[in-house]
Homo-oligomer: A and B are copies of this chain.
Amino acid sequence: MKKTNVLIIGGSAAGMVTALTGKMNFPEKDFVIVKKTKDVMVPCGIPYIFGTLASSEKNLMPVDMMMEKNGVTSILDEVTEIVTEENYVKFAKSEPIEYDKLVIATGSTPLVPKWLKGADLENVFVIPKDRTYLDEMAEKLQGKKKIAVVGAGFIGVELSDELNKKGFEVTLIEKLPHILNLAFDPDISTRIHELIESRGLKVIVGKGIKEISGNGKVEKVELEDGTFLDMDAVVLSVGYTPNTDLAEKAGVSVDPKGFIVVDEYMRTNLEEVFAVGDCAQKRDFVTRRPVPTMLASTACAEARVACMNLYDLQVVKTFSGTIAIYSTAIEDNGFGTAGVTEYAAEMEGISTYVGLFEGVDRHPGCLPGSHKQVVKLIAAKNSGVIIGCEVIGGPEAGELTNVIGIAIQNRMTVHSLLTMQIGTHPMLTASPAAYPLIKAAEIIAKKIRNKNK
């Protein structure tokens, strides 16, 4: 039988980073990566192929090139079985391959609610990471007018805005009371809601859809309250489900939500088998609860941890829980979130103090290109440890969210944050006297001080 040292199933972000970091850490080992499709999409770029990027061609990850350049063997095939007792995998077309270490990075598939009538009609779409599907979808949308996007998470919001830019009449429908409900508290998400509405999007919140109907193809969407909306197409962006059938059949433990159970080194219950990315279980950094976070950035962090520990356990290099750091952009407005929201903390029984600061992302604020900047900082009430943040601003909002992300991961308190030095520049950041992160921390410190009086 053919042999390799490390076999990676899955060629998207998690698989690619595992191969690259693994090969960097263990250059003397052979690495094989198995991809199901030739082309691999940049996952977070997918909404943008419908607008800004204009085609899927521009949103490809150079996986083959990177693998070749770094001496990793790439196989275009599908794994049909993992024989964990004998450490080998079977393929649809190729010969089986034996491995020392197996890394499962099989990703996730868009969820289609089983109860949803009409989900099988023509012009009902989901958003998989599949180029062929997405290209066909883009083509089928041509000439359509009214599109319902169901589910206002990041993908739903981004896709809606892109389709709106292309001239479609878009209605974004969210069952929960607010858009981006899991990522932002209502005081923040309301502002994003207003922004996208001002751009011509129609947004319906607090109402799920009940049924999609039409004669063979989409004609109407019925909401829970009985309203009927005329539609030419529906895009479902209501979540993803981990691809773990293959693993489960091979005896890899899977949790009740379908994720592969992993420890801090990203090891599964089976010797020599690791799992990373969307298919692997996440545990929240703060609440320690399993969370369904699926982010390419999280996947990459997990991949790095897994392959640093493949052969040689590095006690310091473990994964300390998922801190969901997201950011998104609507035109030149940026939004970001890290850690838990105030609401999520409350639901978990964590008492918090919140500091909300509103400023401007340049100084003086009259400089061209300036944006209102808002930072909401969330800290545990008694320790002052920072557990979450939400950010609104301009293009700097992504990295500003990362500043707070690093603070959270270092378990910094608002008090230690207050003595931090920050670099500022008129064209790039808020003013040093009104740096939003520090100002928000000051507000919390004041609340703590008043409580201790």
Contacts and interface: CB of A to CB of B under 8 A. Distances in A.
Contact of A421 (B44, B322, B369, B435): B322
A298 B402 contact: no
A317 to B, nearest CB: 5
Contacts of A366: 53, 58
Interface in A299-342: 299-301, 304-305, 308, 314, 316-320, 322-323, 325-329, 334, 336, 338
Contact of A296 (B319, B399, B424): B424
Contacts of A415: 314, 316-317
A428 B322 CA distance: 21
A431 B42 contact: yes
Nearest to A296: B432
Nearest to A421: B301
Nearest to A404: B406
Contacts of A402: 399-400, 403, 422-423, 429
A151 interface: no
A369 B24 CA distance: 31
Interface in A47-84: 48, 52-53, 58-61
A418 interface: yes
A420 interface: yes
B45 A426 contact: yes
Interface string A351-395: 000000000000110111100000000000000000000000011
A366 to B, nearest CB: 5
A304 B419 contact: yes
Contacts of A45: 363-364, 367, 426
- Size bracket, chain A contacts: 35 or more
A423 B327 contact: yes
Contact of A317 (B319, B326, B419): B419
A127 interface: no
A169 interface: no
Contact of A425 (B329, B367, B394, B421): B329
Contacts of A108: none
B409 A420 contact: yes
A297 interface: yes
Q: A59, A295, A415, A432 — which one has the most chain B CB atoms within 10 A of its CB?
A: A432
A394 B453 CA distance: 46
Nearest to A394: B395
A397 interface: yes
A193 to B, nearest CB: 19
Given A304-B418, A395-B428, A432-B300, A423 B405 contact: yes
Contacts of A53: 364, 366-367
A423 B402 CA distance: 6
Interface stretch (A13-21, A95-103, A200-208): A13-21
B364 A446 contact: no
Contacts of A368: 52
A332 to B, nearest CB: 8
Contacts of A433: 13, 16-17, 20, 61, 296, 300
Contact of A442 (B24, B318, B438): B24
Nearest to A323: B421
Interface string A154-197: 00000000000000000000000000000000000000000000
Given A398-B429, A399-B428, 7 more contacts: A58-B364, A298-B421, A308-B418, A316-B419, A325-B421, A325-B423, A406-B407
